[in-house]
Structure 1
Amino acid sequence: MSDLNPKPAGSRPPRQPRTGVTSTGARKAASKSGRSRAREFALQALYQKLVGKNDVSDIDTFTRDLAGFSKSDSVHFDALLHGCIDEAAELDALLTPLLDRPFAEISPIEHGIMWIGAYELKHCLDVPWRVVLNECVELAKEFGGTDGHKYVNAVLNGLAPSLRAAEVGADRGKARA
């Protein structure tokens, strides 16, 4: 060993803690479920629709060829991508009263995330409403702007009682008890 290199040859840097989150607070890829991955791919696909105005079949084909898609829940991806695009006007109508600005001033990332949240709240009743909100907040933390997750959370938290009244009421009743 020389004085310039005090470490023995072949030594490794210290291990990083495996907390399951990155330095930004987003979940690490290894800790994501197939549905979480499906939401990520659906968001990327919806972004292509919102920004590029690409054809949904071209978007679908392109997205399925991306690295890591095989680890996602392809059935959930299909439901989100095609459901959000097919019901875009209806989802926007549900979300608009909860916004403080027009959709034209909202990032396409946050717009896509809110579509996913609204779609899941409306159609994916097997996913608890709090899980829908948490998953959308995680997407916004990972892909959105600095405080986009706060906006997404506020809008979807306002939407949940109208689409899942009994479930939200029961959860909020437990919290008060």
Structure 2
Amino acid sequence: MGRRREGREAAIQFLFARDLQGESKPGEPEDFWSLHSAKTSTRAFAESLIQGVLKNQAQIDAGITKLLENFSFERLAAVDRNVLRVASYELLYCPEVPTPVILNEAIDIAKALSAGESGSFVNGVLDKLAKSLRKPEASSPAPQAS
């Protein structure tokens, strides 16, 4: 597994834990990293994703909420919610990362960390988001989750 994939997974795990625990507390990042060993470059990438999501969380959550059909944001599984947050952050603020890479990584992580139809669900939401945010020539059709 590559550094960026590990970084995305670590960021999602951190945000997931933060969701379940509520507001952050002093020492929270260090507590997380003491339990989750990672190379310096992986940790740096994960921390950039975490800080980006936290800084822009209101906008990211609002964008995801607009795309949900017959479902409320609060009812999303915590893993799915945070997979969507990290991928949305990358779609919004990381134009150097190709859309198919973002979508594939998010779908694969959702399949690995979540349950049931999470891969398909994440695919559907992110495909809509990618089409609304990025020019068609910058993205290709979303992969089909199996």
Please, what TM-score do these two structures have when normalized by structure 2?
0.87
**Greater percentage in helix:** 2
Q: Which amino acid aligns with 2:133?
A: L
The answer as to 2:11 corresponding to 1:62 is no
Preserved CA contact (<8 Å) 1:110 1:140: yes
Percent identical pairs in the alignment equals 27
Q: Which amino acid aligns with 1:70?
A: K
The aligned residue for residue 155 of structure 1 is 125
Q: What SS does the aligned partner of 2:9 have?
A: helix
1:2-41 equivalences in 2 (<5 Å): 32-41=1-10
The answer as to 2:66 corresponding to 1:97 is yes
The answer as to 2:138 corresponding to 1:167 is yes
| CA distance in 1 between partners of 2:66 and 2:112 (Å) | 26
The aligned residue for residue 12 of structure 2 is 43
Distance of aligned partners of 1:87 and 1:150 in 2 relative to their CA distance in 1, 3 Å threshold: same
Q: Which amino acid aligns with 2:125?
A: V
Gaps of 5+ in 1: 1-31, 173-177
Root-mean-square deviation (CA, aligned residues, Å) is 1.7
Q: Which amino acid aligns with 1:154?
A: G
Q: 1:132 aligns with which of 83, 86, 102?
A: 102
| CA distance in 2 between partners of 1:56 and 1:98 (Å) | 31
Segment drifting more, 132-141 vs 118-127 = 118-127
Please, what TM-score do these two structures have when normalized by structure 1?
0.72
| CA distance in 2 between partners of 1:74 and 1:82 (Å) | 12
Distance of aligned partners of 1:72 and 1:143 in 2 relative to their CA distance in 1, 3 Å threshold: farther
Larger RCO (alpha carbons 8 Å, 6+ apart): 2
Preserved CA contact (<8 Å) 1:37 1:72: no
Q: Which has the larger radius of gyration?
A: 1
Segment drifting more, 78-87 vs 38-47 = 78-87
The aligned residue for residue 87 of structure 1 is 56
| CA distance in 2 between partners of 1:129 and 1:123 (Å) | 12
Q: What SS does the aligned partner of 1:150 have?
A: helix
Distance of aligned partners of 1:56 and 1:130 in 2 relative to their CA distance in 1, 3 Å threshold: farther
